[in-house]
Structure 1
Amino acid sequence: MDLFKKPTLSFWQIFNMNVGFLGIQFSFGLQQTAINPVFLFLGAPEDMLPILNIAGPVTGLVVQPIIGAISDKTWSPRWGRRKPFFLIGAIIGSLCLFAFPLSPALWFAVGLLWILDVGNNMAMEPYRAFVGDKLPEKQLSLGYQMQSLFVGAGIVLANASIFLFQDWFGGDTSIEVAGTIPKWLYYSFFIGSVLSVGTILWSVIKTPEIPPSYEELKEINSHKSLPFIERFKMPFIEISNAVKEMPKFMWKLSIVYLFQWYALFVYWQYITPLFMKTMGFDLSSAAAQSAKMSTTYNIATVVVALMLVPLTLKYGGKKIYAASLLGTGLALLSIPYITDPVYVLFPMVFFGIGWAAMMGIPYTMVSKIVPQERRGVYMGILNMMIVIPMGIETLTFGMIYKNLLGANAINAIIFAGIFFIISALLALRLNVSKEEERD
């Protein structure tokens, strides 16, 4: 139960609160679309792509819940509770984005991805909790769907920049030097470096945090008075206790996430190789086409994100979420059979609706049932449910791709589509029990 009544915020206050997601998601957009082509440019074999992406699952699993637990026990009258963490994370991410296209070798790029993911995860989790901290329950859906809007907008800008810069500055892709990153790809990373810090600063300056209640402040001060070793152990104890006491709803959601996020990681890794096979593109053209795909579905996300708010209020989050996952699965099943680079963009509208739902609806549902004083750690645990499937995918899908799917990117995307349909069916089980409802 929330300890005090939160004020209702205006549309533009909620907008300003979420602007920082633009920079964070520009960075994630580059990770989705540009990182794997960079690895391929630097000589990585296709079946190594999953394991080269293991940084995301590992850092998400470790960093987000720990930062969430620490931020729950933090308060500074000057800096707030969540802001210091996502500002530091944005600075780390900004430096890595600037350095990434300058990578001289594959090992260097892989190492930078680890540091970049630490920064992005450090920024992401407190930001999720920050929105929940600020908004009354009646505005949670609007707040998290506004995040979906900025998720889509950030990724749209990231991916549009990739194919536009290739068109403007790419020249003849046939003369690109093997083992090097083409110069046209540099500009997107440099823009992301600026946006990562700039948009977070906007939200930090424009949005004050709500001070903790007397009871929360008393607990925070009690935590500060503990010996260092006790404070060091506390986040791990908090995470362990939170998992033990986790609502049944979140356990059900974890099964949905297992299939959903496994499928998403497969899609992001193998959409570029798919176009090299189905359309006969070289690597640069395939990377640009995958950027167009991502731009299309994220434009759809921007358009529909806020439209989902009244739909979820009318029909319930569970039904809209399940329908969106089903549409995403059907979109992926159709993509390998479309060989026209324009027509293949149409299924991405359904993918974009699904992405808008994935980035908003589960956070709204979870935020309504977890206690205010533990929101940070539970948002971190929710992210664990994302990165564990990703980690499983990075460890298993390379072997599946090589030995069961014939090292064929077409089969990989079909595999992802089937997993999305399974996740849609499982989402129909997402019911909140009476005991889990909060006043």
Structure 2
Amino acid sequence: MNKRKLSFWEIWNMSFGFLGIQFGFALQGGFMSRIFQTLGAEIHDIPIMWIAAPLTGLLVQPIIGYLSDRTWNPRWGRRRPYFLIGAIFSSIALFFVPHSPALWVAAGFLWILDASINISMEPFRALVADKLPESQRSYGFVIQTLIIGIGTWIASNLPWMVSQLGVSDSAANGVVPMSVKVAFAIGAFVFLISILYTVFTTTEYPPEDMEEFKREKEKKNQFIPDILNNIGSMPLTMKKLGVVQFFSWFAFFTMWSLTNPALTEHIFETPAPVEANYNMDSEESVNEFQIANTAFQKSSNEVGKYMGVYGLSSMAFALILAFYTSKRRINRKLVHLFSLILGGVGFISMYFIPSPSWLILSFTLIGFSWGSILSMPYAMLSSSVDPKKMGVIMGIFNMFIVIPQVIAALGGINYTYKLIGEETINAMIVAGISLIIAGFCNLLITNKDAITYNPK
């Protein structure tokens, strides 16, 4: 099928739903550990409490990719129904998660939230490959990254912004502050509205051969065999990219799960107070606990604000690449290699910086790697797979994202960072080393079509 080149605004419209998806991911990644700690979780238990998220992605994305490949409605298209379903459930989960009365409830909402986000997210990756000719693939994924950067920055700052408007950061023991509750409610609204915008402003191409599509759709009991067959026959380039993805996502899962406890302890020196260390029958001790808890909540807002910087720098990265790739070719492999190494340096620098203001530099470097992770692997992959199987291939590719997260959650983070020392900040050093390894793994990729984008 000859696909026409799309304008910037057409690509923007089809990618705009990612603003809401990233609101969900940024609020989840920046503040779920804070919610867990507020509800009484110990630091060493936090990674395992995140395990529902990657496990959900491992199951959901290949299924949604497979189903969306086999879906067609003249009005709603192939991918858009899944955007909408995921957005509705994600918005509900985002609203209720900070109202969780207990740890197990919060962990359950995290599972629902991540499953719902994955339902929306996977078809967005496939939509870029569906809609754009090969000459615009890099450009399309970069525009997607630009929108993700905007969403990351705004959502990461939401609790701090809401707090500046006078909403309280203080709360009773075991209760999430109102500033976080309001931020998550805003995120729920933005998620739904942005997805609806894409659903109603974007059209999709019908299957190229409708008769063949109908025959494939009518085949019975093919789901598991098809998934297994596609896993077994994945291209060599996809396997090599999988190695890069493994170390990349181990690093970022470490960031999402442990940045808040690491930085509130090491940089801000306001760790989450442990109730067992206070005599809660004494009014004086209760007041001390409240003061320590409020300090932790305020420094957590600051951590979120600084984390938003990586969204800004990923946005700058995307803007530069968007202008460049609209007219010129790039070496995707080298761009990804150097971006990941810069991010690794950013993580490691957190251990050495003398004051919180230096976190701007650390997260700026991390943002370069994040911007590349969200665009370059998908651009390289989409150039080396069968376009008729783009949905299921993108879903299977997600295995290389979730497996490292599962390993990290099951003890990989705790084991590796404690090889360096007991302080939680050592987890950021592990994240940095992992990202640098990911960068050098790009040297494994040799497929010329995957490496180089040639404008036509």
Alignment TM-score, normalising by the size of structure 2: 0.89
Partner of 2:310: 297
Q: Determine helix, strand or coil for the equivalent of 2:356.
A: coil
Measure how far apart 1:436 and its partner are.
Answer: 11
1:247 aligns with 2:260: no
Q: Determine helix, strand or coil for the equivalent of 1:22.
A: helix
1:209 aligns with 2:210: no
1:318 aligns with 2:311: no
8 A contact 1:247–1:436 mirrored in 2: no
Matches of 2:214 and 2:442 in 1, distance apart? 41
Percent identity (aligned):
38
8 A contact 1:48–1:398 mirrored in 2: no
1:420 aligns with 2:435: yes
Q: Determine helix, strand or coil for the equivalent of 2:34.
A: helix
1:221 aligns with 2:211: no
Q: Deviations over 1:131-169 (max 9, x none)?
A: 110000111111100110111111111111121223333
8 A contact 1:328–1:350 mirrored in 2: yes
Evaluate the alpha carbon distance shift between residue 400 and residue 88 of structure 1 in structure 2; reply closer, same or farther with a 3 A threshold.
Answer: same
Matches of 1:58 and 1:200 in 2, distance apart? 24
1:43 aligns with 2:40: yes
8 A contact 1:131–1:144 mirrored in 2: yes
Measure how far apart 1:104 and its partner are.
Answer: 1.0
Superposition pairs of residues 6-405 of structure 1, within 5 angstroms: 6-171=3-168, 176-214=171-209, 217-226=210-219, 230=220, 233-278=221-266, 279-281=268-270, 282-309=295-322, 313-397=328-412, 399-400=414-415, 404-405=419-420
Evaluate the alpha carbon distance shift between residue 398 and residue 8 of structure 1 in structure 2; reply closer, same or farther with a 3 A threshold.
Answer: closer
8 A contact 2:329–2:452 mirrored in 1: no
Of 82-91 and 217-226, more deviation after overlay is shown by 217-226
Matches of 1:146 and 1:437 in 2, distance apart? 18
Amino acid at match of 2:176: I
Matches of 1:438 and 1:25 in 2, distance apart? 27
Matches of 1:20 and 1:353 in 2, distance apart? 22
Measure how far apart 1:362 and its partner are.
Answer: 0.8
Matches of 1:316 and 1:36 in 2, distance apart? 37
8 A contact 2:249–2:401 mirrored in 1: yes
Q: Name structure 1 gaps, 5 residues minimum.
A: none
Matches of 1:437 and 1:327 in 2, distance apart? 21
Q: Determine helix, strand or coil for the equivalent of 1:67.
A: helix
- Number of aligned residues: 427
Amino acid at match of 2:198: S
Q: Deviations over 1:303-351 (max 9, x none)?
A: 2203124667544000010000000001111112113121221122111
Q: Determine helix, strand or coil for the equivalent of 1:178.
A: coil
Matches of 1:414 and 1:36 in 2, distance apart? 19
Q: Aligned Cα RMSD in Å?
A: 2.1
Measure how far apart 1:438 and its partner are.
Answer: 12
Q: Determine helix, strand or coil for the equivalent of 1:336.
A: coil
Q: Name structure 2 gaps, 5 residues minimum.
A: 271-294
- The ranges of structure 1 where at least 4 consecutive aligned residues each deviate by more than 4 angstroms after the TM superposition are 309-315, 433-439
Alignment TM-score, normalising by the size of structure 1: 0.93
Amino acid at match of 1:179: G
Evaluate the alpha carbon distance shift between residue 225 and residue 252 of structure 1 in structure 2; reply closer, same or farther with a 3 A threshold.
Answer: closer
Evaluate the alpha carbon distance shift between residue 388 and residue 50 of structure 1 in structure 2; reply closer, same or farther with a 3 A threshold.
Answer: same
